[in-house]
Amino acid sequence: MAKAIEKMSLEELQAYQKEVEAAIKGYEKKRRADALAAVRETAKQHGFSLEELTSGKAPGKAVTKGMAKYANPADPTQTWTGRGRQPAWVKDALATGKPLSSMAI
């Protein structure tokens, strides 16, 4: 094979290089598809889809915000569950000396 390559012209070598690169890409694409099929099959055998395992979310569990426990006395449509960062109206009320319990729903 090495002797055949040495006898090729530059144009023939470049064409051969393109063929080799295309063959490598095709080979890698097939290996990736085979690996993906194997992973999907393994997940299926365990009762999952690949998407369930890779999404990071548990299937069927909806995220709930929770029930509101506190409301803004000036605007009752503004509520807070008591979890997470305190809204500005809660911080303002606490800064003026109001207890959190005074805003409880």
pLDDT tens-place string over residues 7-39: 999 999 999 999 999 999 999 999 999 999 999
Q: How far are the Cα atoms of 100, 101, 102 from residue 94, in angstroms, in the given order?
A: 7, 10, 10
Q: Where are the alpha helices (DSSP H) in the chain?
A: 2-6, 10-45, 50-55, 88-95
pTM: 0.45
Residue 59 clears pLDDT 90, i.e. is over it: no
93/89 Cα distance (integer angstroms): 6
What is the pLDDT at residue 53? Answer: 86
Domain boundaries, the chain: 9-55, 70-103
Q: Quote the tokens at residue 92.
A: 């303002």
44/41 Cα distance (integer angstroms): 5
DSSP code, position 86: P
